[in-house]
Structure formats: C-alpha cells, structure tokens
Structure 1
Amino acid sequence: MERYSSSWTWLRNFLLALTVLVLVAAQWIPAKRLQLYPSGNMLVDLYSDKGQGGNSSAYWLTSNQKFVCNLESSHLPAKYCGISIKFHKPTDAGTSDKYASLENIDLSDYKQLVVDADFEGPSSELRFFMRSTEATSGHDLSDAKFMFTYFEKHELAEQEAKAQFNQFSIPAWWLNRYYQSRDDFTLDFSKVKEISFDIPSTSSDGEYTITVNKVEAEGKWISNESLYATIIAVWLVYFTAELVRYVLHQKKNLTQSIHTLEKDVDELKHTASNDQLTGVLNRRGLLDALEEKPISNNNYYLFVFDIDHFKHINDSYGHNNGDAVLRFFARQLSSVIRSQDLFARWGGEEFVLLSEQQHEIDAYNFAERLRKLIHQQDFLLSFEGKQQHIKLSMSIGLTLVDKDEAFNVAFNRADSALYLAKDKGRNRTQLAS
C-alpha cells in the first residue's frame, strides 16, 4: 500500500511540475499570425465621397500601398476617403466581374490586429474597420456588419500598432439602419469580407498621405481558454482517480475493520458462552443455545455429572491439579459426545449434557459408557515435585426432558437424581423417578 501511495505522490508531483512548465512555456510560444495585407487573394480599391457628388478624392502614389486622400467638405452630410481591401477567390478567366466571388476570412481564433502603416495629415486619427457578412458576391457591402477602431498617429509611428478585437465597436448609425436582432450588437469576426482604412469624417480638411505596409491578425496557437480547460480537465481526471482510489482504499479498510470487528464479536461471544478453563460451553452458552434452538421432541435426556471427591483433590493436591482434573474430565467426555449434543460446565465440578436418545435404556447405557470411560483411566498429577496416579469417578443424574417443560424443572429433577446417586455410594448412574 505504501508503494502504491508513493506512485500517486510521484504522479501528482509530475502533473504539478508539468502544469507549471506548460503555463510558463505558453508565454514563450510564438504568436500565430495571419497576413491580411498584402495578400495574393485580395481586391484593393481607393474610394471617396466624390462618387456621391462630394469634393474629396483619392489617388495612388505607389501601387496598392501608398496613397493620398484629399479630404474636403461639401454639401454631403459626411466626407470620407480611404482604402478598401476585399478578400476573394480567384475567378475564371472568362468572368468579367472581379467581385463575383468574395471570400470569408475567419478571424474568430485571433485576438488582435497588428498594423504597420504611416500616416501624415492634419488629423491625429486613422480609422480602421472591418465588414462581416454572409454575402458571397457583389461590390456593395453597405449592409454588412460594420466594426471599427481608431489608431492614433503616435501609435502608428511605432513599428507596429496593435488593437484588441474586443475593443472594436459597432457604430450607432449602422445599428439604426440595419438592426434586426440582438445578435447585431455582437462583434463577429468569423466571416470578414473587407478591411479598410479611412479618414474619419470629423477630421479637418486637407491632404493626407497613408502608407499601408502590412496588416495581420494575431492570436495564440492555443487560446488561454483551451489551455486552462485542458489543464483543468487533466487535474479533474487525476482528482477523480485519486478520489476513486481513496474510496476503494477506505472501503478496503472498512471491510477489514468489519472483518476484525466480526472476529472480535465472535471471540467475545465465544468467551461469554464458553468456559475459559475447559473450553466447553458454560451455563450461559447452554441456555443461549436452547433459546436459539428449543427442544423439539420428547427424545432428549438431560445428564448431570459430578466428579466424585473433587473437593478432596483440590484440598490435597492444590487447585492447579484440580483445574487439570476438570480439563481432563471435559476432554475425555467431549471425545465421545456427538457434535449435535450440548455439553457444558454448569459450575464447579458439575457438568451437564443434553443428548437425543431413542429410548431410556439407550440414555442409561450411554451414561454408563461415559462413567466407565472416566473410571477406567488413571489421572497423572504432579504434587510437591512428584508424579502420582489417582483414580477418578463421577456420579450421574439422568432424566427425560419434556419438550413443553422449562429447562430448570428438568435440571432440578436430574440434579436430585445425582444427589441420590451420591447417597448410594457415588460412581453410579441414577435415573430420576
């Protein structure tokens, strides 16, 4: 058991060390990145409010990377100018519509946006937004979910500017125009069709130069949620196994305790029911046995034995020899008594036997057989350093037990017969009248 517990301790320490190692190593695993721009599968366009009759305009300085926005107020409620990047699958050579097959980009496993861009102009902010929709074709994505964030000019001055996806917002104007259900309030990066940079409409008029070098989505190969869930699952399995082991161990201990208790109870019962000197039943043991299994017919006979001159043996040779005589007497009678018979030491040198016999003569002959067994053997005792043989004898009172009478009634009758046998000279069997 100690070796078994040691194995579990080793396993627990190993899991603890492994957990710490995984948590530390997770901080050093390189981030997972998906390059959104530049990319082979993209459609890049410049846009402005000029197409709606406004005064703003946009043009390229270098192909698909650096462009100029001339932002100018007009009669339109909002001025705008920016770059649109849509994702698509390559179309067939015969297809004239380059927007015929827009593609979803799933960014739900990523946590933040990484931007490498330069920004010059009167305003201090550059807006970045994404559009997410189930639409698969068409140039107009105006009803696609609009999610945006801002980059400050000083952020873009760094080598990389980052924005957490959970910091994006859905503007009120889009919700007012396209709201259909509660899900419209939820950010959704699982089906992004378009990303875009533009100058906020609240910016000052003027010329803005924007260079978009790179746009990436960044995340972890294993999310914190998945990592923690895996660690918790492993520890739950361990603790479940440990709990099962503990329960089984406690069950085993309980079973052993119950077995020990049952053994102790049996020993106590044996001690309470058996004579400690001779090992046969005592008076209580005999009466308990009769209570558990009462006499069921009229073929039972009660024998009451008394060792003749036992007081003289005790007084002359000492109590140790007296005890030896009692053990010898019980052992000799037990050797010929049947297992179903009840044999007990009633007290002192008096013993009783309850035995089923067919007839009175059978009971008498059995009593005589027992009497002769004792009388025909010499008992060897030691006294004052010397060994000496003595003769033993016993007197017997015998009576038939009526199945309906109380045991003490039959006992008194047999005991009276015993005293009559002693009065007649001892070493004899006397039937009760």
Structure 2
Amino acid sequence: MKPNLSYPSLLTAGIALTLATLAGLELLPARTLDLKAPGVANGPYLVTADGKQDGHNVRWLDEKRLHLRCHYPEAKPFMGCGLTFVLTHQDPTRGMDLSRYDKLNLELVYKGNAPSVRLAARNFDPRFAKVEDANSARFHSVNLRPRDITKPVALELSELTVPEWWIHQYNLDRAYNRPSLENASAVSIDIPYLEAGQTHELEVRRLTLEGQWISHDRVYLGILCSWLLGASLVVLRGWGQLRVSHRRQQREIDALTLRTRQLRIEQEQLRRLATIDELTGVLNRRGLEQALDDLEEQAHGMTLVLVDIDHFKRINDRFGHDRGDEVLRRVAAVVAGNLRASDIFGRWGGEEFLIACRGTRIRDAARLAEKLRERIERSEITGPVGRIELTASFGVALAPPGGSTADALKRADAALYAAKDAGRNRVEMDTSLQSDSPTTVG
C-alpha cells in the first residue's frame, strides 16, 4: 500500500514548521519588568547614613523623577547615597524570581566625581539569610564608571557577581557564594565611594529587566529532538517497507552500502582534520596551533618548551618502527603525566613535542623541563636486544604578553639546537630578551 504522505512532502512540512517556529521565536516580544512602574516594587527608598528619607545629607530633588542629591559636610562611618527598590511585600523572605531575565536596561544621569556608580541586587536565601540581618541576603553588584553611563546601558545579569567583602564577612560554604537571583529581595543603585564635602546628583530614568518568555536553548533542543524523532520514524518506516518487498530491500541495502562508503570517506577526511594525534593520544600540530592562537589572542603571555627525543632515528633503525612508536607513546605519557591541567601539550611533528605553559616565568618552565628530562631518562623501554636508552633535549623560550608566538617558537627551536650541539640530554633556556646567548638549566 502506498503511503499517504511522501518523504519529500514530510521533509517540506518539517522544514516549514521549523522555519515558522524560529520566526515566531524571534518575533515573540521579550518578557519585561519595569521596576519603576507602580506596584512592582516598594519604594524606592533613599540610602542614607541616618536612615531618614528626607535628610539633609541625602534628599530628593525630584522624587517623582527619582532625582536625588548627596552631600555629607563631614565624614561619617557610613555615608550612604543612593536608592533601593524593595522586591518583597508582606513576606520579607519572598522576593521576585529575576533568573527568568537575561539583562537589565539602565539609564542614569550622574553628576559628581565618584569613580563609579554601583548597581546591586540582594537575594534572600533561607538557608542562611535572616530577616533581622538585612546584609545576610546574598549581595550581587557591578560597578559602572561614569563614562559607562553617559548613554543607556544594557547590562547582562551575569555581570553581577558576589563581592569578596560579602564572602569574607559571612564565611559561608563555597556553594552559597554562587550568584543567584531566584529570590531577589531588593535592587539598589548607589554611589559606593564618597568623600566628605563632595556633592553628587543621581537620576534614574530607566530600570527595566528583559528576558525571554521561552528559552531559545530549549526551543532549539526541542527542534533538534523533533528532527531526530522524525528521522527515527522515517528509518523505522523504511525498515518496514524493506520487509514487504525483497527488491526494495535489496535497493535499500545497496543505498545503505553506498551511504556507508561515503560516510567512511567523510570520516577519513574528518580524521585528517582532527586535532588529536592518533599514535600518542595528545594534540597534533593542528590542535597545538589552534591552542597557541587562542593563547596569543588572550595576550597573557606564555612559555614554550620544545622537546626532541635524542637519536630517535637510531632507535628506529636499531629496534624497528614499532619500538619507535612505543618510545613516542612513552615520552608523551611521561610528559603529560607531569603537567598542570592548564598546560598545553602535543606532538609538534616527528619525534618533537611542544609544551605551552600559561604565564611568563621562564625559569619555572625550565625547571619543569629539567624534571621531565630526568623522568624520560629513567623510563624503562626494553627492545629485542636489551633496554633502550632514552633521553631528550629541551629548548625553552618566552612569549611575552602581546608578543609573537612564531618568534618564540623560533627562539625555542634555537635553544633546542643549542642543547643538541652541547651534547643532548639537557635543557637550554633562551634569554635573548635579556642577552644574546642561551642559558643551561640543571
């Protein structure tokens, strides 16, 4: 019996439905919450040193426009200046779930010479927060410089972090110090650094939260699962039809064989482009180049260590390529087992390996190279005619922040050749950034 719907029509319908879903997702208006709107939050209340709402030091210039002025003639232990929106109502332990929002649209007008204006949010966590201690609600904040707020700002809520002073003050377990706004009790805008005699004016023109009604990630996952389910149903349907007709089964098997052959060809192409060296299991040259490019873009600086197995050709000629491969694997394992998780390591080519250490302490990298040299020398590899004597030479060079990785590689290579010329099984450190000659370590 012929199916009512053909595969092309199902595919067309699936594509149309997917495009309609994606278009609808983009056209769906954002979820918004205006904290200045009546009834959303209590307040805002002025943040003052004496707790009074209309004091001399902090007072409203125009309360309706949320325009305030701060001036402390004399220094006080606490010189508060700002305003707070309270998100709790009758129950002080129950606030608003702000985790559903992604960003906060902020428009401020500030006059003064403070180094920053702070946006902060409190989250009441009943596991440790107490109603009688307002500071016990987890504090999140971000400091905005005056030049950051000369125009409207769209802040990602992920920019709000828990400051160190709050973490040290309450000394809670690390799990309690993670940012969370699932039960936000207050949002405040204040000037954290005041000096006596200064005058500051602050006006809050916009304070709006924005987020998605439906998580885009969930929609994308749903689309992917739907396509996978649809593909699975199509495959099952195909297998059912194969059982009805031997001819159709044979054609499908031939098509499957052809597709398998194509997949193998594609797999081999992907394998050649992969970043893992099949023999040693560490990064290959392509993977190393990608990692080095990433480090160079970060401009933090790094130290490069080139490792070359001494007399590797002699090992291959005397013991065979299988033993030579075992030597490569053993050296890779020894080096990888003595590196930090943050270090980058891979096979640069042939019998040569490369280590990239984050940071610019070249002597630390040289000491690491010396330790690796000793571990390699003590490695036990037995060949058909006895123990294989295994040593390696090392060249160490510095790539300073903003410097060229290619230049550092050339200097590391020159240091490696210096180690080879000096008798092998040694570490040479390039110091051309300070002098003209390599330095031996160990």
TM-score, with structure 1 as normaliser: 0.50
TM-score calculated relative to the size of structure 2: 0.49
Max Rg structure: 1
